Amino acid sequence: MHATQHHLFSDLGVMLGRSMRHVFRSLDTIITVTLTPIAMLLLFVYVFGGAIETGTDSYVNYLLPGILLIAIASGIAYTSYRLYMDKQRGLFERFHSMPITRSAVLWGHVLTSLVSNALSVIVIILVALVIGFRSPAGIGAWLGVAGILTLFTLALTWIAAIAGLSASSVDGAGAFAYPLIFLPFISSAFVPTESMPTLVRLFAENQPVTAIVEALRALLSAQPVGDDIWIALAWCVGIMAVAYVFAMRAYQKQV
Amino acid sequence: MKDIAIQVTGLQKSYKALQVLKSVDLEATRGSIFALLGSNGAGKTTVVRILTTLLKADGGTAAVNGYDVASQPDGVRQSISLTGQFAAVDEILTGRENVIMIAELRHLRNPRQVAVDLLGRFGLTDAADRRVSTYSGGMRRRLDLAMSLVGKPPLIFLDEPTTGLDPEARLEVWKTVKELAQNGTTVFLTTQYLDEAEQLADRIAILHEGRIIANGTLADLKKLLPPAKVEYVEKQPSLEEIFLAIIGHKEVL
């Protein structure tokens, strides 16, 4: 047992290196997880933004948190896809019949999801800076933003793991992400919820994305975060815990 | 008992109501080629999955290289390699990167050198830096085998290694299997092709309806039938012989 245990980090490193190559060698992945959110950012700021009343001076400041969440929701669809392909191609069986730390196979994918989403988030923030995004936030607030985005990525990654491990077709492995990508549109990510009809507004104000967006926005504009941050954290941790249990169950079935 | 590589007694496995393995007994000696023969769905892959620690048996015992598959899976995994029914290769990586990845996971000293050697041995040097998605079926299978040989495991499981391959690629796999055995590696292979078992195996076991119904050398199995009669039949070339003669055994890369 101990002989394979202390190789956990080097095994994880090999797995991470492998899946990061998958990310960088797939033009489709790069376009979907980085270029599309950037195009959306530009579209909303320069085309629709003029007509949207948010009560703030800078629409790009208002919009950025929602765009980051959409980028992450698109990114985890590829985690699901990569897991599905590994299952389908027999790579799980190869790895699991080798003397390596078994959990490294799944955690390698989770780590790749965190690293690749962090990269696309950084690229999107850099583009936002170029088109006028400014933040008075200090280092503590930025760490808070990084922490919430990491938890959000982890929560969605475990949902992606359930889909990837239990899907019976490539389409199924990716399809679950569409509602997740759509959620920010029915939240305060693009427009304030006040303008929405009552029913839609009720949904928008009580779904996780609104709390997460509000918490991120408050942190980035150096405003008091209020209850939103706790609601946001509760959503992220809650979704993560439930999804983790089901993902592990799906994973055990493969082993 | 040092020369026993695989020892299986009373192995049982059911999937829900379906009893796939009723009671399987078999024994493979070190350095030999052991073929498990059976039709589709006979349970050959289930036996391989249990012996390679991917699946837990419902009953019976199985020891691989002296390690119990249920209680000492790490020992088993240290000493085996599995080549599954479909080439388990990473399509997006190059051939070289695939072999290096396995060498790193086996914590070998010099993964790059291991890759150079194995890719050369399997005729993949020219294709080493191409992505595997551009490889032919035969090349994928060769890469798959190269990856299985990383770290020189003493026992290799080949689950239907030639299913879906063209005749030439099939002969290449046969050649590799024979070379492995000559170098002292134990090979456990499953196949549904009778000629494959006949060509390669030192011992053949026939799995049918959840049990091993016959087990022995080819000569042993032949004795189960009445003695051969001598008949004169005109020798017609098989289509395979014609095909191989026409294309002149050239490697298609």
Give the integer Cα–Cα distance in Å for A110 and A153. Answer: 9
Between strands B186-191 and B33-37, the pairing is parallel
Across B209-239, b (16+ Cβ under 10 Å) vs e yields: ebebeebeeeeebeeeeeeeeeeeeeeeeee
Q: Is the pLDDT of residue B170 over 70?
A: yes
Q: Is the pLDDT of residue A57 over 80?
A: no
Q: Do A14 and B101 touch (CB under 8 A)?
A: yes
Provide the CA A197 distance to its chain's centre, in angstroms.
28
The minimal CB distance from B92 to the residues A22, A90, A98 is found for A22
At residue A5, the pLDDT reads: 52
The residues, any chain, with a CB within 8 Å of residue B142's CB and separated by 6 or more, are B122, B123, B124, B169, B172, B176
The residues, any chain, with a CB within 8 Å of residue B82's CB and separated by 6 or more, are A93, A94, A97, B48, B52, B54, B148, B156, B157, B159
Q: Is the pLDDT of residue B29 over 50?
A: yes
Asked if A81 contacts A174 with a C-beta cutoff of 8 angstroms, the reply is: yes
CA distance A187 to chain B (A): 38
Q: Do A93 and B87 touch (CB under 8 A)?
A: no
| B-contacting residues in A 78-117 (Cβ below 8 Å) | 85, 89-91, 93-100
Q: Do B86 and A89 touch (CB under 8 A)?
A: yes
Q: Do B88 and A93 touch (CB under 8 A)?
A: yes
CA distance A8 to chain B (A): 10
Q: Is the pLDDT of residue A2 over 50?
A: no
Give the integer Cα–Cα distance in Å for B105 and B160. Answer: 25
Q: Do A97 and B107 touch (CB under 8 A)?
A: no
Asked if B249 contacts B237 with a C-beta cutoff of 8 angstroms, the reply is: no
Asked if B6 contacts B188 with a C-beta cutoff of 8 angstroms, the reply is: yes
**Residue B233 carries which side chain, given as an amino acid letter?**
V
Give the pLDDT band (50/70/90) at residue A84.
very high
Give the integer Cα–Cα distance in Å for A158 and A244. Answer: 5
Q: Strands, E, within chain A: which ranges?
A: none
pLDDT tens profile B222-246: 787 777 777 787 888 888 888 777 7
Of all residues in chain B, the one with the smallest CA distance to A105 is: B105
Query: How many contacts (CB atoms, under 8 Å) link A and B?
Result: 66
Task: Tell me which chain A residues have a C-beta less than 8 angstroms from the C-beta of B52.
Answer: 93, 97
pLDDT tens profile A172-181: 888 888 888 8
Q: Do B104 and A10 touch (CB under 8 A)?
A: yes
Q: Round the average pLDDT of chain B to a whole number and report it.
A: 89
With an 8 Å Cβ cutoff, is A170 touching chain B? no
Residues of B with CB under 8 A from a CB of A: 49, 52-54, 74, 77-78, 80-82, 84-93, 97, 101-102, 104-107, 131, 147, 157
- Quick one: DSSP state of residue B42? S
Angle at B132 between CA B131 and CA B137, to 5 degrees: 150
Asked if A69 contacts A213 with a C-beta cutoff of 8 angstroms, the reply is: yes
Q: Is the ipTM of this complex over 0.90?
A: no
pLDDT tens profile B63-117: 999 999 999 999 999 999 999 888 899 999 999 999 999 999 999 999 999 999 9
At residue B178, the pLDDT reads: 92
Q: Round the average pLDDT of chain A to a whole number and report it.
A: 90
At residue B253, the pLDDT reads: 43
Q: Is the pLDDT of residue A210 over 50?
A: yes
Give the pLDDT band (50/70/90) at residue B250.
low
